[in-house]
Structure 1
């Protein structure tokens, strides 16, 4: 399975002391969410581990010191995941669990007391961050599950059809009560994998007015929207570096942080109930369009409303409400179910073996050729063989590169005066709705 990262950046943004001190003021998502008054007095993510499957995380970045646990490296290097030569993973970690520094300076994550488990994978920076040939998604996902992550952030997206092992790893995480959150993608096309997998929270990006970003992928899998336009986060060029980004990567990190806040406040809830809290409390789109829909999903993720009392959800079903949704890119042949091992452990096994699919495909080809031969002998034109699973229209696929960390080149960041003025926080009206069954 191949992949891209999900949030667009201007790399190596200069970050002198004065600039760094202004970063907190530019975190409009925290202002819109009223994090200081409405969120952090209730929960800050204490006791929750969030795995960040990405380019690694720099533990020495000034806003992340003490937040990064030893993790793993599936990129081929011998590290514990606490190395980041790209900056994308460090940025995502800071939006989740950054604690800033000094007096109101630096990046603050939405769940500043959560811990980050870095799971480094083969993502290379060539314009956009793109997966290398040895991208080991099943191994990375299973490692995160087996090492205590209750939330897994996947700020990358892919355009290629997935393997049985990929699908089995997602099923493994669902079976082990983990909330998985992934970026929908940045191509303005169908929702990409792994966000498109049933059970995964697929996230789109909005601007500070609550409008969906033009390049945010969309489709029936879209679950929630979150801030993803003009986002500052920690960088990797130095311990004081910062990044300016637009993309569904950043929106994904904010939704992962909301899941961590809920899991911290309500540790007895299942992953499915945490997801239900987020989707039933989502704010209505600013255009008041009916939800769920292909662009906003159930609406705009709200940390304060996700944390509010919700006995209907807390006393309701525990299963993941996203397991039964459709996949717009076409689900695999359901006649060969994926078998998920119940014992925890690393490695990429767990699905129906690939050779079994190959053998079955070979038999099918022989049968079809035999039928064609007999029909031609009878002087009739054979009907085309049906596809093993429904395929989407060719034009619906993104360009054929593998997984894309959802990167998008953002214009130059705005210049701020000495005392910048900010618009009023966007207010999203409540829009109650039933959770997806």
Structure 2
């Protein structure tokens, strides 16, 4: 579980500790979207639906541990994530407790075993498939599991969810190493954490990060404490915030595909006060996710598959037919073959003409007595068929990062943005 926490003394203290809402200017964000109509699946330790901050927010869900009830959470981790995403506060008019960034989204609890690398990979992989089948458009994976490498059962489950137009968001990890699986899988939004100063958290994993979000000293519901609340550090929390932002976007832009939502998330991210960085940054990826900007920035839809790398072997909905590029390429190959055949025909005719000419000259020379003067000789023409210029392919400069390119002008080795657009470096 990618989170460490300390209990908070009271519910009143919680509201004052929700600094991410202030940073994101949540009140302004909610004028545009609160996540209504969106289901976020939390594949975790369950979600305690009896918590006052989550009243009416938790759907029935499903348990994959054998304990029976996905709306019970003896560990508290899944409930904490749910509160950051869709908490509605408690007390009179919701004036106390935790409010999530997408307070009108619904939570689908998927109860699994996610203890660090000792959990049941099969259970959460099955949970991912279940979430996709139940209509969740966002799946939050605040977990790590080295068994979810490419080609594994878990990776295939994520690919299945992605094929169902689901945005999968996962935690980068908390051990200051490289981004863990499943966050490192193709097409998954890998999330790092930043602190109150919006600087990278020292324990957040790096290299392969897509975006970052608040994850340090974050107040959240925790049913295992006496007050019911805690303040915690971890990429678990930052992942929940990005899942909430995706929920806001999916509510505001229901016509966009999962890939296009990710495109909007990435294009609106910014380094903010982290000056001197270039995309893709090892610690922040494409920047800190910004809900207000993501909701309102003028961003072209982009391709349906989005900017991130796709899983190997993934196919489009038209996989049974060749794409336009494939058809054109095939035709080009056929055309090249026909051209080569034409050249061979011309060469053959020319050779035949030359051979006939030589034979005619020899016969004439013999008939004329074998004279060696120019009058009886065959002049050397020196003519050859011109060779076609050799076709060459120049690899574009720089490799892509997660299937996405840095924008023009950035002093990054992978500097090329096919859409020629990049977010401003300030604002939320």
2:219 is equivalent to residue 228 of structure 1: no
The yes-or-no answer on 1:49 pairing with 2:36 is no
Give the aligned partner of residue 275 of structure 1: 262
Q: How far apart are the structure 1 equivalents of 2:3 and 2:191?
A: 12
Label 1:157 to 1:322 Cα distance change in 2 as closer, same or farther (>3 A). same
CA distance in 2, matches of 1:291, 1:339: 28
Q: Give structure 1 regions of 4+ aligned residues with deviation exceeding 6 angstroms.
A: 338-342
The equivalent of 1:113 in structure 2 is 104
TM-score scaled to structure 1, two decimals?
Answer: 0.69
- Contact 1:179–1:275 at 8 Å: present in 2 too? yes
Deviation at 1:78, TM superposition (A): 1.9
2:132 paired with 1:145: yes
Does residue 99 of the first structure (1) align with residue 91 of the second (2)? no
Residue 431 of structure 1 and its aligned partner are, at CA, apart by 2.6
Aligned equivalents of 2:266, 2:195: Cα separation in 1: 19
Which one of the candidate residues 409, 424, 427 is aligned to 1:430? 424
Partner of 2:166: 178
Report the Cα offset of residue 207 of structure 1.
0.3
CA contact (8 A) 1:211 1:285 kept: no
1:152 aligned counterpart, secondary structure: strand
Seen in structure 2, the aligned counterparts of structure 1 residues 142 and 339 have a Cα distance that, compared at 3 Å, is farther
Q: Which residue of 1 aligns with 2:200?
A: 212
Task: Decide whether the 8 Å contact of 2:172 with 2:235 is kept in 1.
Answer: yes
The SS at the match of 2:161 is helix
User: For each residue in 1:224-247, what CA deviation from the matched residue of structure 2 results, as whole angstroms up to 9, or x when unmatched?
Assistant: 000000011001137950021100
Contact 1:168 1:338 in 2 (8 A): no
CA deviations over 1:133-154 (Å, ceiling 9, x no partner) = 4652321110000001000000
Q: Does 1:76 align with 2:73?
A: no
Matched, 1:89 2:85: no
Matches within 5 A, 1:5-44: 5-10=1-6, 13=7, 15=9, 19-36=10-27, 38-44=28-34
Normalised by the length of structure 2, the TM-score is: 0.70
The CA deviation at 1:286 is 2.3
Give the drift of 1:112: 0.3
Provide structure 2 residue ranges, at least 5 long, that are not aligned to the other structure. Answer: 319-422
Structure 1 unaligned regions, length at least 5: 326-333, 343-428, 433-437
- Residue 123 of structure 1 contacts residue 135 of structure 1 at CA under 8 Å; is this kept in 2? no
Check whether the contact 1:199–1:323 (CA below 8 A) recurs between aligned residues: yes
C-alpha contact (below 8 Å) 2:204/2:234 kept by paired residues: yes
- Residue 244 of structure 1 corresponds to which residue in structure 2? 231
Contact 2:114–2:143 (8 Å) recurs in 1: no
Query: How many pairs were matched up?
Result: 318
Q: CA RMSD in A?
A: 2.3
What residue is the counterpart of 2:305 in the other structure? 319
Q: Distance in 2 between matches of 1:306 and 1:94?
A: 22
1:295 paired to 2:283: yes
Q: Which secondary structure does the structure 1 equivalent of 2:54 belong to?
A: coil
Whether the aligned pair in 1 keeps the contact of 2:146 and 2:182 (CA below 8 Å) is no
Quote the residue 2:56 is aligned against: 66
Larger relative contact order (CA 8 Å, sep ≥ 6):
1
Q: How far did 1:131 drift?
A: 4.1
2:389: which partner in 1? none
Which structure dedicates a bigger proportion of its chain to helix?
2
CA distance in 2, matches of 1:213, 1:244: 15
1:201 pairs with 2:185:
no
Shift of 1:309: 4.0
